[in-house]
Structure 1
Amino acid sequence: MFTPKKKADRNEAETRADHIDQSLEYDGWGKVNDSRIRREFEITKGRILVGGKRSQRLIADYVLIYKGRKVAVVEAKKEGLSYTEGVRQAKDYAERLQCRFAYSTNGHEIYQIDMVEGTEELVDRYLSPDEMWTRLFNNEPEGTPDFKKVWRERFAEIPFESKGDWLPRYYQENAINKALDAIAAGEPKVLLTLATGTGKTCIAFQLSWKLFQSRWSLTAQKNPQKAKRRPRILFLADRNILANQAFNDFGQFGEDALVRITPEDIRKRGGVPKNASVFFTIFHTLMSGPKTKVDELEESEFVEDAHAFYKQYKEDFFDFIIIDECHRGGAKDESNWRGILEHFSKAVQLGLTVLVKSNRTLF
């Protein structure tokens, strides 16, 4: 345990440098492999106010990261203040970032909050990276399959694709992690309900990126040691503008990995494209067939062709299917489009929606 010397006139910056940084390092943070300390971590840029100005940014003094997951927030106060001064901030930030632990400290006293168990106590040191990781997943039921643990860590090891200098916002990262945890556990269907404007396409991209880079696939889902090939991913939308937007937003995959499926392209090729990793199309295209007229694809009551193009793919061709705006009918049991999802029922299916309904009617 690191024991700092008393000196009540240090300001916050000095308290961090002389006490908190050393305590965290002593307990393994920044020294243990895969552990990181992010200082002055920006959570939000502040709300946009009238006149284009912004409200005050939310910045955490420290965010502790292990194996790619944010696990704790530390709020620092100068040593002359009580250690309780940062408790409210620490809890707020930990809740936003979905961290298991929150700490408030003045460099001498360390106050620990377990956000899951609801326990709060003074402690003499910070939990080490491995201790936090164990506590983070210690509530898993007995018999949790090993492949879940393997994939969870493999997904976490893959950094988010920055897309220039742009990274997911904290609520997007939360959604991505929840979906990845479900996929790691072998869940066949995942539903993400997000407010309008929160970046569903960005979430879909980052999820696909991590699956792609980790070489997750249906073949390797329960046998991670067989992770050799890249997954085949299908992005389904109900409008061309959404499919086109997603195709453009997935540009970091590279041109050879992406394909936009259109009726014209299928006819030129003499069949559906198969040499790619991420496929983008609308339901109507896959439901159409060789004799379908293009103008019929715009009809809301479009009926599936007896020789629908999606049937040219084997049932296990796709590993992961993203259904954008699934509240508009793509996943409803009564939908004409249901046949596509049933044909590819072996794939893990992710529904993205902005409308809260029961899972029975949505997905």
Structure 2
Amino acid sequence: MLSKKNLSERDICTKYITPAIETAGWNRFSQYLEEVSFTDGKIYVKGKLTARGKQKRADYILYYKPNIPIAIIEAKDNQHAVGAGMMQALDYAHILDIPFVFSSNGDGFLFHDRTATAGTVETELALADFPSPAALWARYKQAKGLTSPVAARLAEQDYYLDGSGRRPRYYQQIAINRTVEAIARGQNRVLLVMATGTGKTYTAFQIVHRLWKSGAKKRILFLADRNALLDQTKKGDFKHFRDKMHVIEKHQVEKSYEIYLALYQGLTGSEEERNIYKQFSPGFFDLIVVDECHRGSASEDSSWRDILTYFSGATQIGLTATPRETEDSKNVEYFGNALYTYSLRQGINDGFLAPYRVVRIATNIDLDGWRPDDGKTDTRGELVEDRVYNLKDFDRKLVVAERTELVARKITEFLRGHNRMAKTIVFCVDIDHAERMRSALANQNPDLVREDHRYVMRITGDNELGKQQLENFTDPASKYPVIATTSELMTTGVDAQTCQVIVLDSNISSMTKFKQIIGRGTRINEDYGKLFFTILDFRQATNLFADPAFDGEPERVKEVPEGQDLSNLEKEEAADDTADIIDEVSGEVVEFPEPEPPVAEEPKIRYPTDPDDEDPDDTDPGGPGLKRRKIYVNGVDVTVLLEREVVFDEHGKPVTVKLTDYARQKVQEHFATLDDFLSTWHGSDRKAAILQELEEQGVPVAPLRAAVGPDVDLFDLLCHVAFDQPPLTRQERARNVRKRDYFTRYGPQARRVLEALTDKYADQGLDDLANVKLLTATPFTQLGSPLEIFREFGGKPQYLQAVHELERELYRQA
């Protein structure tokens, strides 16, 4: 019989930890789970391929009720000390917001009380002394301030479960529990900050359901600012309220329902009789949920704030992905500090949000500005004012036809190499720009437009046909529309689960707007193969990645040289096997000339106000509804320029030192000496280990390879950059092996196999020479079947040993 010291960790759980838990009164079927994976694993992108990283997994999570995780246990085998798992358990407990933490090796438990504010924090317990559910719940209530019976009952109220097996993710669970518990303690203003695509509406539904079901809140108002958001809420997560729910429409006020959905705009107006919300008494609603509260509700002088002030006696919960903190609009001043924040970076690292790649495309006139030739006239035949026009002017004040055509061509090139049916959103300066871009894209894709005119559509606030197609665009099962050109309408509240390409051709200076736009692509839909997305940036808007207010780094930023065909971009990346698994690599910030001083006032021409154009500089000071007339020109030489490449470090900060110096510093932080590096490299999983370390350090392999030489493999690249070793090309290493007469120790046929492997390495830089799948392709098929080849070496193990020795010989140091 095995002694306790020889038992595996799983055996320790089965024989000692689980019995101790159950003896203390924890129910096997409802109060604890074993080996609980609480993240999905970060998605890594390699060309068009993706791979998942490791999930975070707890050995045990204990629940007082299904909605209240209360304790976590980390198990170790008996060769470890009882507290050996405590550091990992505390890390997981911090992530999961769990107060009570245990580590065990089967001899007993080390108990850490995260709620303790004085006295002993950690205590050793015998197996028989594991605390009961009631004991931990009493501690929990005391620590959370849920001391009254009413507050405790509210905190214990279960989630809504619809029978599908869907349960809140760990971060949603934290947001729900913190909100319900805060309200149970009497807090009446709550702010939740959750990145786009992380399920804010589902979280809100679970909060509302628990408060409503418990009787704590009987009449509830859900406020949104767009019909699309309201429709998604009604047909989506809130559908479970069924006949208890009512959508407030103008002039249709019903007071017999319990759950109300409404648009801000539907409740307010410029005339007193249009302020429909006043038909309800100030105390009618017990709870108001404010979706996308970074918009008008945060501003003190907005009519939207008037609604919240009128119902000030109600508990109010603000939901946003981007809290707004400007001089005139502050979420925190109204709702208080965020009760919980789940960021874009956390969502990507956990694998719940899609990572993204960035391709920057800069034209000559974008970078250098455009100055008209002497006597240059616009399309109306009027003289164009002589000054330098730059990116801030293009498509807002000055329209260059060739620039629009170039952008449309580059988008089309990329889609040809990626997937021409990939859902794509093109963000434009305004409605006029969105329409011209739609037309240019249609001209670039006549074959697909002929198949279905909805291949490219303008979806803007003024266009009913386009808005009618918005639901089809966001429906994963709907083929059309494929490309949507827009300006403001689709920046927020559009649940585009399968959007694979975001095109930025709009000047974006607002971090709030930037985050919202990026959020259109962050949703994952594995059923439809959507695991990452690409940003095509024509306006250098991705400079905002370097802003401290941005919290999610891109997979990489790649500059596009003049004349490069974007349809080949992914093929080129896929060919470089080491380049595309690199994480947190970005492109260099490009400086632009400051805008010129305002020009002399132009004639006041009345144009219809563009509901999607929010740029105040574009409004004529002469009065409402007056717009500056744009200048339209053609015959301008517009080309793509090559720009320098810069990377972001592992914290998302731009690297300003020389790339090779930065890489040297990061590699040497983990491998202090060449011997340390060689020891890891010669391990069985050397390349996977090295790449993992590089990812964590934020070291960019692709730009390094370009700087050192394309024929140098990862081994020589890192030896050269980090340890000043002279880099050898793959061809040189292969020649050195042949010079040493290494192959003469083998028989003729075995020698031919190893020589063919060496040739493959020299030509292609194979990742894994030991991969037996190589033997199913030429030239190996001409040397025999895999079984016959193994026989030449004395069997498969002997073949693999020979290949391993060949690898060592290839990387032998002089």
Return the TM-score normalized by structure 2: 0.37
Structure 1 52/167 Cα, relative in aligned 2: closer, same or farther at 3 Å?
farther
Q: 292, 316, 321: which is aligned to 1:325? A: 292
Per-residue CA distance 1:315-334 (angstroms, 9 max, x = gap): 22211110111111214322
Q: With a CA cutoff of 8 Å and minimum separation of 6, indicate the structure with the bigger relative contact order.
A: 1
Find the aligned partners of 2:13 and 2:111 in 1 and give their Cα distance: 17
Instruction: Tell me the equivalent position of 2:86.
Output: 87
CA drift at 1:354: 2.5
1:351 matched to 2:318: yes
**SS of structure 2 residue aligned to 1:134:** helix
Find the aligned partners of 1:241 and 1:178 in 2 and give their Cα distance: 28
Instruction: Tell me the equivalent position of 1:232.
Output: 219
Instruction: Tell me the equivalent position of 1:42.
Output: 37
RMSD of the TM alignment (CA)?
A: 2.5
CA drift at 1:24: 0.9
Instruction: Tell me the equivalent position of 1:57.
Output: 55
Find the aligned partners of 2:184 and 2:334 in 1 and give their Cα distance: 25
Per-residue CA distance 1:263-284 (angstroms, 9 max, x = gap): 3xx3xxxx31223221111111
Find the aligned partners of 1:362 and 1:348 in 2 and give their Cα distance: 10
What is the one-letter code of the residue matched to 2:227?
N
CA drift at 1:47: 1.3
Structure 1 352/8 Cα, relative in aligned 2: closer, same or farther at 3 Å?
same
1:241 matched to 2:232: no
Find the aligned partners of 1:325 and 1:46 in 2 and give their Cα distance: 28
Question: Could you tell me the percent identity over the aligned residues?
Answer: 35
Instruction: Tell me the equivalent position of 2:8.
Output: 11
**SS of structure 2 residue aligned to 1:117:** coil
Instruction: Tell me the equivalent position of 1:131.
Output: 135
Instruction: Tell me the equivalent position of 2:607.
Output: none
Find the aligned partners of 2:104 and 2:191 in 1 and give their Cα distance: 38
| Contact 2:89/2:103 (8 A) holds in 1 | yes
Instruction: Tell me the equivalent position of 1:298.
Output: none
Q: 16, 20, 23: which is aligned to 2:20? A: 23
**SS of structure 1 residue aligned to 2:153:** helix
Higher strand share: 1
Instruction: Tell me the equivalent position of 1:74.
Output: 73
Per-residue CA distance 1:120-172 (angstroms, 9 max, x = gap): 3322232221221222233467xx772xx423333423134357232211111
Find the aligned partners of 1:163 and 1:242 in 2 and give their Cα distance: 25
Find the aligned partners of 2:286 and 2:151 in 1 and give their Cα distance: 15
Instruction: Tell me the equivalent position of 1:173.
Output: 173
4+ residue runs of structure 1 moved beyond 6 angstroms?
none
CA drift at 1:243: 1.4
1:201 matched to 2:201: yes
CA drift at 1:254: 4.0
Structure 1 56/204 Cα, relative in aligned 2: closer, same or farther at 3 Å?
same
1:97 matched to 2:96: yes
Aligned pairs for 1:105-124 (under 5 A) are 105-117=104-116, 119-124=121-126
Find the aligned partners of 1:93 and 1:162 in 2 and give their Cα distance: 28
| Contact 2:24/2:131 (8 A) holds in 1 | yes
Find the aligned partners of 2:261 and 2:271 in 1 and give their Cα distance: 19
Aligned length: 320
Find the aligned partners of 1:172 and 1:165 in 2 and give their Cα distance: 15
Instruction: Tell me the equivalent position of 1:282.
Output: 263
Find the aligned partners of 1:153 and 1:104 in 2 and give their Cα distance: 30
Find the aligned partners of 1:178 and 1:251 in 2 and give their Cα distance: 21
What is the one-letter code of the residue matched to 2:164?
G
Structure 1 71/257 Cα, relative in aligned 2: closer, same or farther at 3 Å?
same
Return the TM-score normalized by structure 1: 0.80
Structure 1 131/87 Cα, relative in aligned 2: closer, same or farther at 3 Å?
same
- Structure 1: 5+ residue runs without aligned partners? 218-230, 289-302
Structure 1 151/272 Cα, relative in aligned 2: closer, same or farther at 3 Å?
same
Find the aligned partners of 1:109 and 1:145 in 2 and give their Cα distance: 31
| Contact 2:159/2:209 (8 A) holds in 1 | no
